[in-house]
Amino acid sequence: MPGAARLYPETDIPPFKIDFEVELPELIEEKVSRYKKLGLSEDLAKKIAKVKSDLFDTALKRFPDLNPRFVADVILSKPIELRRKGYPVDEIKEEIYLKILEYVANEKIAKESVEEILKKAAENKGKVEFKEFFVLSESELKKELKKIVEENPGLPFKALIGKAMQKLRGKAPGKKIVEILRGLC
């Protein structure tokens, strides 16, 4: 082909080989399949894959001991519930979700506190003081449970558990409350 449209190799630069591979991002269908293997329902896996997959994957890498369904609940389901109730959950940054999951993984806050923490974060433009949600130490918990037992003499064990759970909701894991109550009764 004559003229300017002809292609000539560049004469001033020696030839070089391009040796990079293009890495395609993971397809949504692949993410859904991977999430379903972790125990998520089809619907939840699709929602996570489309909306919060980066945050979900980061959380699972950082906190492998947490149940993936719980992680999905914290970063997707709880905010949806709170949005329906009128809370401005869009104010909550990803760091807050990761901090909540970190504290749950380290047993510094109880799973039952997560919704309250998210409410506070939404109300305070993404800021929250986590210390008010920390679980009680074992000695503080025993002291509180002793007080409940003393205030309700003769109450059946299951009723005591109910009273304790009501009073200490979010301040201690339910299993720990039952375990200590068994020792006190």
pLDDT at residue 174, as a whole number: 80
pLDDT at residue 25, as a whole number: 86
Are 132 and 113 contacting, i.e. CB atoms less than 8 angstroms apart? no
Q: Report the alpha-carbon distance of residue 185 to residue 174 in Å, rounded.
A: 16
pLDDT digit string (tens) for 135-179? 888 888 888 888 888 888 888 888 888 888 888 877 887 888 888
Q: Report the alpha-carbon distance of residue 115 to residue 111 in Å, rounded.
A: 9
Tokens representing residue 185 in the block: 């009764």
Of 105 and 3, more confident: 105
Average pLDDT value for the chain: 87
In this prediction, what percent of the chain has a pLDDT beyond 90? Answer: 43
pTM of this structure = 0.73
Tell whether the model's pLDDT for residue 29 goes beyond 90.
Answer: yes
Tokens representing residue 31 in the block: 């993410």
pLDDT at residue 65, as a whole number: 93
Predicted confidence band of residue 4 (pLDDT cuts 50, 70, 90): low
